[in-house]
Amino acid sequence: MDADIVIVGAGSAGCVLANRLSADPSLKVTLIEAGGAGGHPYTRIPAAYARLMEHRGLTWGYRTTPDPESGNRAILYPRGRGLGGSSAINGMIHIRGQPQDYDRWAQKGCLGWSYDDLVPYFRRSERYEAARDPERGRDGAVAVEQVIDRGPLLEAFIAAAQAMGLPYLEDYNGRVQDGVAWTQQARGGRWRSSAKTAYLDPAIGRPNLTVITEALCRRVMVEGGRARGVEIERAGRRETISAARGVVLAAGAIGSPQILQLSGIGPGGLLARHGIPVLHDLPGVGRNLQDHYLVRMAWRVRNVGTANERSRGLRLAWEVAKWAFGGRGILTCSPGMILCFPRSREGLESPDIQAVVAPGSWRQGTFGALEDEPGVSMGVWQHRPESVGEVEIVSPDPAAAPSIRPGYLTAEADRRALLWGIRFCRRWIGQTPLDPYRGDETLPGAEAESDEALLAFARAYGSTTYHPCGTCRMGPEGDALAVLDPGLRVRGLGALWVADASSFPDMISANTNATVYALAEKASDLIRNDLRAAPAP
């Protein structure tokens, strides 16, 4: 099978690239996805995310390699598998992050990646019809709406944050993030808006776009210093797909470095240990893994209903009816219905903490089943962690899950910031507007007060916030660990790009999906420019 461009991975970035690149009818594009064709009903219902995190058919089933700083636990590490990727299973929180994040990228030598450079791509990727800010997109691809299932408990949380001096933000996706706000979701009415529905479905009928599912990428084929295609495996058979103009990896922060390493592109010592011929010794592949480390706290609630009770029996039937006929109710919910952005200390240029509120509480603080009694939960994480980890293959078998070591809490600054965030959540819920509703703290419990006790709780219960990035990071010439140049081209090879969250130079102050959309939009322009500069064979 022949193509001009082969895209590996039909997740958030891959669906964008497939749409934008196949818009050129002269370009033959093939999109390869290891998972299925999608369409599971849970991927369309917003609140069904809780049922998807361990769904073996829709995720890769990853877990982290146990580490002492995170309780020696193999932490569940969901990554979407199937058309739409993680955008089909995530919590739908749509947030750009702070302008300083991207200006820092540019200052590090990634020219063309400042916030002003990215605003047109954020606008192109989003359809936020309530926008007042001209820098927001009103007619882009991904539907964005504010949460609609609010109620007196959540309203009291907004008032409580204001009582602490935090301003109310009408739109946190502008240039100022300090304050408290209702969450914006990647949702259109009753339905999740995913990369599949927003980007791939509108393009799927194009004669120059081929989509191959249930196909595991074994390696990128490299000849003469450039990518020539990929080897895949489907239905037990190996096939090759040639790429006359190039290959784009969009398999995510775990998948893209894994494929490069399997292809002989990565740290030479690692590849040699697994008997993989070293085609290109690139030490940064799989390094620089960063992720937000989430700690979730919980309280009992009185005098008001919560999602815990509304998700059972006849109440659940009523919620289903509200969702089906009016696009309202708890089935439209995200894991965070309110977002708050405080600063943990004086002298910071911008907020360094994100806290979220959900009108329900999970058993043992983990997704899966809500508690029986009324409860509310608050989650908190540090925006820009200093801790870094790595992703490494453990076998030359592409079906073998790689080792994922996020390195959570290895940096002292991260531990200090998280402790501040936990105590901030306690102060927030302790404000007067919440007096009518606040019950006892159940997780970690009021007895956990010292730094040692709170860190022990964080290590025992903390988890990923599903925001891995940086494992094929871009950087300037001379950066020994930069896998990509600012054009997203793999250094030292031709006709090979990486365009997904692995390309981030470092972590942003946000959930990552909105930025992946913008990055992929920009990547489509960069790749088209490269193709125009290189004559077709």
Give yes or no: 383 in active site. Answer: no
Burial of 166 (0-12, 13-18, 19+ CB in 10 A): buried
SS3 267: coil
CA distance 64 to 391: 10
Residues forming a β-bridge with 185 = 93, 145
Cβ atoms within 10 Å, residue 270: 17
SS3 483: coil
Cβ atoms 249, 259 nearer than 8 A: yes
Picking from 471, 79, 406, the residue whose alpha carbon sits closest to that of residue 261 is: 471
Tell me the two tokens of residue 18: 């497939």
Cβ atoms within 10 Å, residue 359: 25
Element (H, E) at 322: helix 313-326
Cβ atoms 85, 11 nearer than 8 A: yes
The CA distances from residue 71 to 293, 402, 439, in Å, are 13, 20, 28
CA angle in degrees (0–180, nearest 5) for 360-365-370: 40
* Contact residues for 237 (Cβ-Cβ < 8 A; gap 6+): none
Cβ atoms 257, 266 nearer than 8 A: yes
CA angle in degrees (0–180, nearest 5) for 38-366-379: 100
Identify the active-site residue in 40, 94, 280, 467: 467
Cβ atoms 310, 319 nearer than 8 A: yes
Tell me the two tokens of residue 536: 């077709």
Picking from 485, 519, 55, 452, the residue whose alpha carbon sits closest to that of residue 252 is: 519
Cβ atoms 328, 145 nearer than 8 A: no
**Residues taking part in catalysis:** 467
